[in-house]
Structure 1
């Protein structure tokens, strides 16, 4: 884990080395200043020699100035290294997530990934900065101050050793209890972020069902859990200061009492006693800062493990060593394919699928919820890999292709349509980065999107809000279809992608496909029989198995499941397995 994280220091190695170096020089100057102060008192003030006072005074000012410069440089390099480290961590996690297959993404919640890239990285950034500065400064200050104390008076230094034992015992007790609490705190952050994300993304549903109070209560509960844990942890940490003050004042009293006796008998000078007072503060403050470093590191250990999980996750899917770089045509073959989302679990989503689809053919896919429709088409673009058998595109196993090439030639319009913040043109060019305005307009005409775009004041420069909230469900679907068409794919998959448009528009889209892209293999998953009945063939899935694959007319005669769906829709006037957003679209 440590090796994985430190690999992200990269170009900030120099700053990471210079920060502790200048910190060490800063400590050296600070440790010598009380020693010079003792000389000013003993050799200058008490001896009545102003020349010595000036000389040692100038030396002390020079040391203080150097300490200031070294401290500024150490802080600058520590800030640069820690901020750069955090930037690299976020960038590395984000880039690694982009390489994940669907099965990798399934292992992490969205809220969990957001927490890792924000709160957890910030914790590591703070911990790294403390390691470069305080974790170097405190031990050096502690050791150097103790050496100077023993150099001045070995007997009086025993007071420090006793104080260190008392303070260390108190700090260990505080640390052991707070670290357990902070480990729980970071687990609760995921719950809080999940609540926020879910509420914001579904705010329309919340308001439609008047569930604001319920959502407020749910969020308040998650926030209260964090509040109680933080109060408990910070309450324990607050004991640091009173314990520290108790030990400091105890040391001052002990030093004053025993130091006065040593001065009377002549074994200690006034200047040396003054220096000891400075060193006792340095020793005890170093101990206190070390305790904070340990707490911070322990707090960050949970964050470090969570970040390392993302960085160490390797994509389940990879390109072959010598991938095929050309797809001959849009034919599709499923050769006795079985598939499960959890390999080896025994729960098959698809069972012994054996299908053969010709290039340019239009195939409708229908079936109930959980029948495996989306799972089937996800295998074609190799979003997942099969457990048994193989899927072929253009007569070759999809695992033999370069994945980028395959996915560029297999365009998928998923069930959940996603538009990104930007103009309509920006969104369309996700399909083809260098697409001209004319190409975008042609794709939109095929998807029946051009007519509503032209009604917008800014037309193709109309701004799309986050999540596409300023366009209707049907408009969003048609823009996503146009975006896929811009890829000029050999295979086009529409995964229930016309559920939010009216039947007339649905029919217009299908007619445009038949006339304009006859060579493209088209797979249309639909809930409405009217959306697939004109397809060359219709695939009926039931519980992960093929239970029919033929024309509309033949299936009506031979397939009881298909016939039942048709009768239910024609008699009830409704859709089989109603989609979530079936209302007619309109311009917003």
Structure 2
């Protein structure tokens, strides 16, 4: 936790909170002494003036304590909340730059928990530290010293009450701390199942698996609830135990103090002050113990957050990056081999193909043949194990990541749209795009008609994930978003799958006819032969190996795998 807070908390604010707390505690410790003086020197002697004078002092110290408390709470809350804000920002910034490998390693649901619940745990504990953890030891030491001054004999009561309280608190901590640590992982499980249920709600309904998913969620929910009920039931035992011990201590002090007063060995006011100090000692001891109950849970959260922040991405910008010559667009796979993390066999082997500006590279193959894996190497979502992937003549590993991503426009398999307007989504890759450029991109992507048909046009609101558009409309908008960007390489990863044959053909024709696209490299991943047939170079993949390369006519005549794909899609007599 100290590591997380070191650079994210204001030192001056922490010092200020500590000073305010010291003033508050000192004021609180002085008040019982003034009470004793009123009883011993005012009430016992009937000195009204002394009572008024000492009472005014008590009011002043009480006001000072209140003001110091307000200052401490203000600085502690401000500092802890800003710590949470900075932690969330840092985690988000780190995760945004994760490669696909790192994202797969941590998991989306766990990242959500770490950014929300774990950060909140750390915020709350730092608030407790700046309040109770500073107050408790100062008050414990100060009250013990002042209580000893009032009566050496009565302090013997603490030899029974404090060990007894420590014993019960240790038992509670022994059972509660492991349960607190387990709660974070159980929160991960709830988020995982809940997120899957929300994102896959249509599939769940289509297969009538509502009951199954409800039971699945109920299982993880009950698991979390049982854990939470157990741990908070244990923590709830602190208060009755504390009340019992405090009441017993008071009875012991009153009984023993009464005997001392009867023997004229103790003044009445000192007994009253001693009882107040005794309550302060026991309360501060309990606060200190409770902090050590909650700290392990926050420490578990801190470990999880440090895992995210300390994870070094294997895909980074080189120390001396080379610049890209975007005036000569080109793409090359030079005997590339790639293997997923912990995989035994390579996902891609010996991929060797090259295209230049104005040419279209198409990739086709069966499911799981490595098509998406191949195009993911272009923007360095993953790094090749062997060989080289070159964009505009430079190895992607030698180029600044930001510059590389600027040079590649990528349309993934799943069309992701963001909440906002159509214009906001279109400007995602080019902040300076004009409305004319956006409309032109929409026209090429065959999306102009349904956007223009809406009275709001480019100001039409896009719901979360593009839920107010059909699958084909989302794909066309995602394609248009990529076309707005001025890149060297345009990658369409199976981005025409939701389009009908006519729209698919019109879109590809518009791409070929566009003056800007005619000078760029276009990469199309497709399942349909009709989508890739007019490409300059077609790569045929099978189980991660390049089993064919050439034009549609060449592959149709000589390549067995390509012929099988054609036969699976085209009826006899309809061949191209």
What is aligned with 2:62?
Answer: 64
Query: Could you report, residue by residue, the CA deviation over 1:495-552 in whole angstroms, capped at 9, with x for unpaired residues?
Result: 0000001001101111111111222111111111111111112110011110000111
Matches within 5 A, 1:307-322: 307-322=305-320
- Answer with 512-521 or 69-78: which moved more: 512-521
Residue equivalent to 1:339? 338
Q: Distance in 1 between matches of 2:309 and 2:572?
A: 52
Q: 1:107 is paired with a residue of what secondary structure?
A: helix
2:427 corresponds to: 429
> For residues 111 and 557 of structure 1, what CA distance do their matches in structure 2 show?
49
- Tell me, in whole angstroms, the C-alpha distance in 2 between the residues paired with 1:42 and 1:573: 115
User: Do the aligned partners of 1:120 and 1:304 also contact (CA within 8 Å) in 2?
Assistant: yes
Give the counterpart of 2:96 among 95, 98, 121: 98
Q: Which residue number corresponds to residue 454 of structure 1?
A: 452
Verify: 1:370 aligned to 2:365, yes or no: no
Residue matched to 1:396: 394
Within 5 Å, give how 1:204-353 maps onto structure 2.
204-328=202-326, 329-342=328-341, 345-353=343-351
SS of the equivalent of 1:500 reads coil
Is the contact made by 1:100 and 1:316 (CA closer than 8 Å) also made in structure 2? no
Quote the offset at 1:53 in angstroms.
Answer: 1.0
Q: Distance in 2 between matches of 1:90 and 1:573?
A: 61
The separation in 2 between residues aligned to 1:222 and 1:573, in whole angstroms, is 56
> Could you state the TM-score of these two structures normalised by the residue count of structure 1?
0.94
The residue that corresponds to 2:510 in the other structure is 512
Residues 99 and 382 in structure 2, CA contact (< 8 A), matched pair in contact too: yes
Superposition deviation, residue 572 in structure 1: 9.0
Distance 1:346 1:49 in 2: 92
Which residue of the partner structure matches residue 185 of structure 2?
187
Match of 2:495 in 1: 497
Partner Cα distance (1:572, 1:315) in 2: 51
Residue of structure 1 in register with 2:527 after alignment: 527
Per the TM alignment, residue 101 of structure 1 is displaced from its structure 2 partner at its CA by 2.1
Q: Distance in 2 between matches of 1:5 and 1:78?
A: 13
Conservation of the 8 A alpha-carbon contact between 2:324 and 2:394: no
Q: Is the 8 A contact 1:181 1:229 kept in 2?
A: yes
C-alpha displacement at 1:161, in angstroms?
2.8
Contact 1:555 1:562 in 2 (8 A): yes
Find the residue that maps to 1:336 and give its secondary structure: strand
Check whether the contact 2:362–2:538 (CA below 8 A) recurs between aligned residues.
Answer: yes
CA distance in 2, matches of 1:551, 1:501: 23
Count of residue correspondences = 571
What is the DSSP-based 3-state SS (H/G/I as helix, E as strand, rest coil) of the residue aligned with 1:354? strand
Distance 1:18 1:472 in 2: 57
Distance 2:13 2:455 in 1: 53
Change (3 A) 1:184 1:572: farther
- Alpha-carbon deviation of 1:4? 3.7
Aligned to 1:551: 551
User: SS of 1:133's equivalent?
Assistant: helix
Contact kept? 1:5, 1:308, Cα under 8 Å: no
Moved over 4 A (4+): none
Q: Distance in 2 between matches of 1:19 and 1:573?
A: 84
Partner residue, 2:382: 384
1:20 aligns with 2:28: no
Following the alignment from structure 2 to structure 1, what is the Cα–Cα distance between the partners of residues 494 and 319? 35
- Supply the distance in 1 between the matched residues of 2:44 and 2:323 (Cα, whole angstroms): 90
Deviation at 1:211?
Answer: 2.5
Question: Could you tell me whether the CA contact under 8 Å between 1:13 and 1:81 is conserved in 2?
Answer: no
Note the aligned Cα RMSD (angstroms): 1.6
Aligned position for 1:117: 115
Does residue 440 of structure 1 match 2:438? yes
C-alpha contact 1:539 1:548 (8 A) present in aligned 2: yes
Q: Helix, strand or coil: the match of 2:519? A: coil
Any stretches of 5+ residues in structure 2 without a counterpart?
none
Q: Distance in 2 between matches of 1:572 and 1:408?
A: 45
In the alignment, the residues of structure 1 paired with residue 310 and residue 5 of structure 2 have an alpha-carbon distance, to the nearest angstrom, of 10
How many angstroms does 1:139 deviate by? 1.1
Q: Structure 1 residues 138 and 331 mapped into 2: Cα distance closer, same or farther (>3 Å)?
A: same
The partner residue of 1:486 within 481, 484, 487 is 484
Using structure 2 for the length normalisation, give the TM-score. Answer: 0.96
CA distance in 2, matches of 1:333, 1:15: 55
In structure 2, the residue matched to 1:577 is none
Instruction: Kindly report which structure 2 residues correspond to 1:162-177, keeping only aligned pairs within 5 A, or say none.
Output: 162-177=160-175
Mapped to 2, the partners of 1:133 and 1:431 lie a distance apart of 47
Counterpart for residue 81 of structure 2: 83
CA shift in 2, pair 1:466/1:368, >3 Å: same
Structure 1 residues 432 and 539 mapped into 2: Cα distance closer, same or farther (>3 Å)? same
